[in-house]
Amino acid sequence: MPALPRQPAFTTTRSQFPEDFVFGSSTSAYQIEGSSFGGCGSSHWDTFAATPGNVVRSENGAIACDHYHRWQGDLDLVRDAGLKAYRFSTSWARVLPEGRGPVNQEGLDFYDKLVDGMLERGIAPHLTLYHWEMPSALESIGGWRNRDVTDLYADYAQVVTKRLGDRLASIATFNEPWCITWYSHYYGAHAPGLRDIRASSRVAHHVPVAHGKALSAMRAMGLENLGIVLNFEHISPLDDKPGSIKAAKIAEGIYNRWFLGGITKGEYAADVLDLIEPHMPNGWQEDMASISAPIDWMGINYYTRALISEGDTQPGDVLPVQLGNKGALPRTEMDWEVYPEGLGALLEWIRDNYTGELPLAITENGLANKDQLINGTVDDQERIAYLDAHFKQALAAIEKGIPLKAYFVWSLMDNFEWALGYDKRFGLVHVDFDSLKRTPKASYHALKAMLSER
């Protein structure tokens, strides 16, 4: 496999981007905060991780990066890099330990202080309300399989935004519905670890329903800049066999078109619907107007491409199973091929076919790298090359008139990479998971230099 490209500095410059273009970094609550602190309730990630075999080395987010106690220093790092925006998520179980009912004031106070801390440092707060943590109490009544949970989610969204909403730059209802749905309920790789087409088909509808309900509740509160974050891969057939072409089309429908079509047009991808309609909740059609109520922006998470072949459909499977990358491009530590061109192609396709003039943001992009702390430094030139190549795609998109307004690096710091534990380092900042010491990597310094140039 070819080695990842390395470079010591960015070749793109800040001044090539529009003056008001926003550069930020992203994190999520469970991956950094430490779920054992501050009266946080149990989430389905705590219980999933507690089951041997689900997470490598049985790691979990109980302590994570201890951001719950170290948030001030972490926000200093955001500010000192010259990043003007920070995308974070609130944990439902930290705010409402039972998912409903009494509020954990300490949890809400924590997010309140965090938002003020950003503003004091000149950092715009971008909130995501659900980045994958279902309170265990609600998972035990069926989680996203249970339509009642969509109302409880809208209640939770109101509790959080009543407190924080006056100071937020943007609010996303969900991060990556594809992962919440298919990765977690069909492939079984993430909490709650189900492999059930009926469960996943219901979740594929209930998550958009919950989005629509929260959106309408927050609109009624007068909140603005409301959106959702979807993840995309550049998906194509591995070869020209009819079976590969068919499998790739379905995979692409599930991954890229289902949620995008539902949210922007009130139409689910017809070819996917043909496969899963028998499993969908009755009367799903009546929800489509609320699901597709106008949003103010859309977030796009992009990392890699996928090449799909006929053999990806296992006997008995309803949908193609993605078996990972099969191409010959350099791969990251996630075994994901580096394919920056896919970002440019997707931005154009999304704009042309779905979002038109709707403002777009790249809400996640980055790589897991074999980073090593040697003599107090981490020489992650691979990350600089990766980010630079994707910055070029963002620039080209802007030049084509695509309304791309922001770019958030995933991630500010190394963190809990879900079922893959703490080995997969995505951060601009290295975290030593024994001492929890933070060390900015070469990519952090290079980005800071790039952002300070005008």
In angstroms, give the least distance from the CB of 30 to ligand IFM. 8
Task: Tell me how far apart the 2 most distant CA atoms of the chain are, in Å.
Answer: 61
Between 244 and 393, CB nearer to ligand IFM: 393
Look up residue 204 and give its two tokens.
């594929």
Residue whose CB is less far from ligand IFM, 259 or 284: 259
Q: 100: closest CA among 139, 142, 144, 138?
A: 138
Computed from CA positions of residues 291, 297, 303, 309, in that sequence, does the dihedral angle turn out positive or negative? positive
Task: Please state the closest distance from residue 341 (CB atom) to ligand IFM, in A.
Answer: 20
Packed helices 381-399 and 340-350: angle between N→C axes, nearest 10 degrees: 30
CA nearest neighbour of 299 among 229, 226, 347, 394: 229
Residues designated as active site: 176, 364
- Chain residues that interact with ligand IFM, rule: CB under 6 A: 28, 31, 176, 301, 364, 410, 417, 426
* Rounded Cα–Cα distance for residues 424 and 403 (Å): 32
Helix (H) or strand (E) holding 89: strand 85-89
- First vs last Cα of the chain: how many Å apart? 38
At its nearest, how many Å lie between ligand IFM and the CB of residue 407? 15
Using the minimum distance from each CB to ligand IFM, give the nearer residue, 176 or 312: 176
Task: Please list the residues that pair with 162 across neighbouring strands.
Answer: none
For 118-225, where are the E strands, in sequence order? 124-128, 170-175
Whole-angstrom distance, CA of residue 424 vs CA of residue 426: 6
Provide the 10 A C-beta neighbour count for residue 436: 15
Q: How far is the CB of 400 from ligand IFM (least distance, A)?
A: 26
Residue 440, amino acid: P
Kindly state the smallest distance separating residue 28's Cβ from ligand IFM, in Å. Answer: 5
Q: What minimum distance in Å lies between the beta carbon of 426 and ligand IFM?
A: 6
